[in-house]
Structures are given as structure tokens and as C-alpha cells.
């Protein structure tokens, strides 16, 4: 479970990356002198808030241990000044802590804010430490809520949602952190940051998009990866695999699920022109899971035969949620992604029975924010009830936390730049939801070329949720973002290290959407130079 949650970390499923891009660059002000003392600066309360306290503590650095479920460590962190500002919204009885860590030497002149993971609004110390190590003055906020799976704040009474803390988590606390963090930087260093950035994955990715949509002047650049946008819809949609298994009364094992995934990857591997263990464009993979019916697989030493019922479950999960009349509600789990993430099951009981084990993030959303009842049994949801819950979530929460407004004209006008990478094998947040949003932005703003002027999307073949943060490969999106913001050079590709189906590292230049990668016909398939980006119509 720890590995599962760690992979989640940067945004929802949990996503505060244990690894962050380095984006090392020359300091804007040379080697910034250490403040005469690490003392609490004067902080003005952001609009609608009251400052409850401001503290400053000089920290020696060294090894930073991440708190909570996610944990993680950062080593060799230089000494820093830790400033904590506690805010409240009068009448809300909330207490949101904004932490800013400021390197005492070698500040690079930049400000960076970091997002949260799952139901945590901010970082657990790992991204803060990494930011300081790379020369950034780094800020995060807890929004007054708890750790990644701490939802004790959701309800303030029987059947009553805590709307104050939900609003904090959904939108306003990130903006307030931007305002406070920049003021702290000015107060401690005696000068404002030359550039400001936001970084996050999953929940953090959603927060980045919320900033671009609602507070377009907060940041010069936003790196928002595997974003949990369309929250009101995708959270319910990701409970679909459990609903399918429970209604079909069929629970394939992890081993059987893997057999389907492996077969699909093998069948669609060559669509990019070469067999390299990666599916470059899963949207073109039309593998029919029924082709595996009758195949025998060995799971935990036992030989099992893939059944028609198994194939039917996988087909529904890949297809995604639909109404009982067949209307598509949301994209399904991408072909090539680990089906065990959302379609997890318990180990067989003494009588051999198996039950579904829902991923906690969508299960909690349905129990607490939709049913307003922690005891609600999600395993009893029928297909028709699922549709009702999906529509209820849209109606009640789209405007609060949907984060799907395609009008980014104010962000574009502000000069802001937005980069997103999303794994094509994301097992928790369907990749096509991000693609759909990008298409909506293009329709809203006129053309793909116009959107490319400030917003670029990169899809990563074979990559899991927030995987390029070091879990399943790597890419330095922050370096690309700073180059774009500070030197005007837009990234045509995003260099990355990917992990293919054989577990081997390969280099790839991720293509700027909608272009896809295709083998040139010669060269080592493990090298990026053997591929080129082409339009989907030529792929």
C-alpha cells in the first residue's frame, strides 16, 4: 500500500513527488547573501484572511524526512530559514499554514510553490527540501486540512460538508500561499523574486490548472503534471472498475489483469513502427480482450484459464463508465496501465472468495462528499446508481473543484506559460481526460497553434501515474519551463527517460501534443534519435 500511495503522491492519488525536477540554472542575483538573521518578516493578510501568527526558525538542513504516509527523504539540503504563516478566514474557524523555506546562501532568485497529493493540499517536506537544494525559495500550504488520506475534515456534522475547508483545498489556499510566499521572500531577502513558478503532479497538477484558470497573475510558469482536473467527474469515474467487478460478480486476479495488459501492449507495440516495448499512442490500440479467452496463465503457482467473464470485465474497464443506456460518461483506464490500481481485490479468503478493494481516494469522495456518510458501502453501487452519483458530483461540485474552465485567455495575456506531462499508462487518472481538456481549450481560444504559444502538453508512453517524477522514468519539465519563461524558447519536445515493457530504460523526446512519436526506420530503438514526432494522421 505504501508503494501505491507513494506513486500517487503529487496531486491526487497522492502526488507530492518524492523526486522533483532540478531545473538548475545560474542564480538571478549571483550567490545571494545570507540574511543578517532569520527573523519573522512582516506579512500583510491576503484579501479575506487574517494573519494569526508568523514564525521564523533557522534550520541546519542536512537530511529532510518527509512526513505522513508518503515519507521520502532529501539529502544534503543546505541551511535554510523556515517561515510559517498561519492564516484564518474570519468566521471559518480554519487555520491554514503557509510554509516558506528560504536558502540562506546561493538563492537562485526564483520563487517556487509546490502542490499536494490526494487529499493533502501541500507538500510533506520533500518538495520543499528539493526546492531549497536547487536554490529556490519554496512555498507550500496545508490549506488547513490533513495528510493524503486524512479526510476527517470533510464533514462538520451529520450530512454537512465543511464548505470552508473544501474551498480552501479546492482553490483559494493556493492563491493565498502565492501571495504570502512572495511577501515572505521579499521580507527575508529584501528583494522580490525575479520569476515565480508552481510545480505539482496529480492533486498538485490540478492546483496548477486552478491557478491558471482563476489566478492567472500568480505565476510566470506552471508545471502541472498528471493533473487531477475534471475532479467532479474523474473521481467518480475511477470507482467504475470496482462497480463493474461487483455487478458482474467477477474478480480477475492481478496476475490475470496483467495477462490482458501484456497482451494489449504486445499487440499494439509496433504501431509506432518498431517493437520497442512501448505503445506510443494507446488511443489507436484496439486490442479486444476477448482474444485472450481460453488462455492459461500461472498465478501464484496455480494454472488459471482466462474466461469470457474476465474478458468482459476488462473490456468494460478499458472502455470506461457508461450509463445503462450506453452513453459514455468518462474515459476508462488506458490500455497498458496497471489494472490492479483501480480494480484491486482482496486476497482469497479461507473459502476462496475474493472481494473488490477500492482505491481509497474515489471511494472517500463518494462516501463523504456525495453520500455524506462515512459508512456508505461503495461495493453495493449498481450501474444505475453509479450514473446518479456521477451526475450528482457534477451538479454539486463542478464549480467548486472541477478545475475544467477552458478559458485561459487571462493566463495567456499575463504572459504565463503552462507545461503538462501525463503518462499514457496512468492507472489512476485517465490520460484522455487531460487530452479532452486541451481540446476544449483549443476550441475556446481558436486554434492549436494559438494555444501552443503558452500551453504545451506532452504524453509519455508506458508511463504510470506521476511516473516521470522518478517512479517510472524521469523528465525535467521545470528546466523546460524556466527556459521557456526566461528565454522565450518553447519546448518542441520534452526529453525523458522511459521504462519499456521489459523493464529497461530508453530515452525518448516526448512530442508536443497532438504530435506522436514514430520510428525513423533505422537506429537503436532505445535512443531518442531513432524517433521523430509526426502528426497523428501520419502515424
Nearest to 20 by CA among 104, 114, 105: 114
Cα–chain-centroid distance for residue 189? 32
Paired sense of beta strands 96-103 and 110-114, if any: unpaired
Q: Which residues pair with 222 in a beta bridge?
A: 198, 418
User: What is the C-alpha end-to-end distance of the chain, expressed in Å?
Assistant: 38
The closest alpha carbon to 408, from 456, 337, 362, belongs to: 456
Three-class SS state of 84: strand
Q: Is 379 a catalytic residue?
A: no
Active site residue 89: no
Measured CA to CA, the distance from residue 498 to residue 261 in angstroms comes to 18
Residue from 465, 474, 517, 530 carrying the catalytic annotation: 465
111 near 23, Cβ under 8 Å?
no
How would you classify the pairing of strands 137-141 and 110-114?
Answer: parallel
3-state secondary structure of 331: coil
Q: Which of 202, 474, 512, 517 is flagged as catalytic?
A: 202
Q: How far apart are CA 133 and CA 126, in angstroms?
A: 10
Exposed/middle/buried for residue 336 (C-beta within 10 Å: 0-12, 13-18, 19+): buried
Question: From CA 48, how far away is CA 54, in angstroms rounded?
Answer: 17
Phi, psi of 64 (to 5 degrees): -100, 125
Backbone angles phi, psi at 264, to 5 degrees: -65, -45
Give, to the nearest 10 degrees, the angle between helix 308-319 and helix 240-248. 150
Phi-psi region of 463 (alpha: psi -120 to 50; beta: other; left: phi over 0): beta
Asked if residue 54 lies in contact with residue 84, where contact means CB atoms within 8 angstroms, the answer is yes
539 catalytic, yes or no?
A: no
426, 472, 476, 509: the active-site residue: 426
Q: Which of the 8 DSSP states describes residue 79?
A: P
Which positions are annotated as active-site residues? 202, 426, 465
Amino acid at each position: 500500500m505504501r508503494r501505491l500511495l507513494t506513486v500517487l503522491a503529487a496531486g491526487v492519488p497522492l502526488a507530492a513527488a518524492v523526486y522533483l525536477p532540478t531545473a538548475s540554472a545560474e542564480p538571478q542575483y549571483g550567490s545571494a547573501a545570507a540574511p543578517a538573521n532569520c527573523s519573522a518578516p512582516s506579512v500583510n493578510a491576503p484579501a479575506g484572511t487574517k494573519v494569526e501568527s508568523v514564525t521564523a526558525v533557522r534550520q541546519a538542513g542536512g537530511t529532510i524526512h518527509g512526513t505522513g504516509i508518503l515519507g521520502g527523504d532529501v539529502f544534503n539540503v543546505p541551511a535554510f530559514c523556515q517561515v510559517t504563516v498561519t492564516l484564518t478566514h474570519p468566521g471559518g474557524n480554519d487555520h491554514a499554514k503557509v510554509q516558506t523555506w528560504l536558502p540562506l546562501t546561493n538563492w537562485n532568485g526564483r520563487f517556487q510553490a509546490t502542490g499536494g497529493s490526494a487529499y493533502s493540499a501541500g507538500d510533506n517536506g520533500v518538495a520543499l527540501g528539493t526546492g531549497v537544494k536547487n536554490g529556490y525559495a519554496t512555498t507550500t500550504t496545508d490549506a488547513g486540512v490533513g495528510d493524503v488520506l486524512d479526510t476527517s475534515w470533510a464533514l462538520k456534522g451529520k450530512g454537512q460538508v465543511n464548505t470552508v475547508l473544501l474551498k480552501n483545498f479546492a482553490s483559494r489556499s493556493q492563491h493565498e500561499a502565492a501571495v504570502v510566499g512572495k511577501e515572505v521572500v521579499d521580507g527575508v531577502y529584501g528583494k522580490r523574486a525575479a520569476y515565480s513558478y508552481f510545480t505539482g503532479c496529480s492533486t498538485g497538477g490540478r492546483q496548477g490548472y486552478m491557478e491558471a484558470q482563476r489566478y492567472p497573475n500568480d505565476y510566470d510558469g506552471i508545471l502541472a503534471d498528471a493533473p487531477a482536473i475534471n475532479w467532479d467527474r474523474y473521481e467518480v469515474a475511477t470507482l467504475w472498475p470496482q462497480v463493474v467487478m461487483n455487478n458482474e460478480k467477477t474478480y480477475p486476479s492481478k496476475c490475470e489483469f496483467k495477462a490482458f495488459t501484456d497482451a494489449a501492449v504486445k499487440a499494439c507495440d509496433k504501431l509506432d513502427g518498431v517493437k520497442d516495448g512501448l505503445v506510443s499512442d494507446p488511443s489507436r490500440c484496439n486490442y479486444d480482450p476477448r482474444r485472450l479467452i481460453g488462455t492459461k496463465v500461472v498465478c501464484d503457482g496455480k494454472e488459471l484459464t482466462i474466461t469470457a467473464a474476465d474478458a468482459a470485465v476488462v473490456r468494460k474497464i478499458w472502455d470506461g463508465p457508461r450509463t445503462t443506456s450506453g452513453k459514455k460518461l468518462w474515459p476508462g483506464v488506458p490500455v497498458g496501465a496497471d489494472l490492479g490500481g483501480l480494480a484491486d481485490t482482496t486476497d482469497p479468503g479461507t473459502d476462496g472468495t475474493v472481494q473488490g478493494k477500492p482505491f481509497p481516494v474515489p471511494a472517500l469522495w463518494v462516501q463523504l462528499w456525495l453520500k455524506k456518510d462515512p459508512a456508505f458501502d461503495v461495493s453495493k453501487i449498481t450501474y444505475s446508481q453509479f450514473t446518479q452519483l456521477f451526475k450528482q458530483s457534477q451538479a454539486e461540485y463542478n464549480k467548486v473543484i472541477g478545475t475544467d474552465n477552458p478559458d485561459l485567455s487571462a493566463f495567456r495575456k499575463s504572459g504565463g506559460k503552462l507545461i503538462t506531462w501525463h503518462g499514457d499508462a496512468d492507472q489512476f487518472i485517465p490520460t484522455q481526460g487531460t487530452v479532452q481538456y486541451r481540446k476544449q481549450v483549443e476550441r475556446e481560444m481558436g486554434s492549436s497553434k494559438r494555444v501552443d504559444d503558452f500551453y504545451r502538453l506532452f504524453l509519455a508512453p508506458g508511463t504510470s501515474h506521476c511516473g516521470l517524477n522518478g517512479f517510472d522514468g524521469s523528465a525535467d519539465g521545470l528546466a523546460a519551463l524556466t527556459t521557456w519563461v526566461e528565454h522565450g524558447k518553447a519546448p518542441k519536445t520534452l526529453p525523458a527517460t522511459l521504462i519499456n515493457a521489459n523493464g529497461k530504460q530508453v530515452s525518448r523526446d516526448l512530442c508536443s501534443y497532438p504530435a506522436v512519436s514514430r520510428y525513423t526506420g533505422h537506429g537503436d530503438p532505445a535512443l531518442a534519435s531513432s524517433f521523430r514526432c509526426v502528426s497523428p494522421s501520419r502515424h
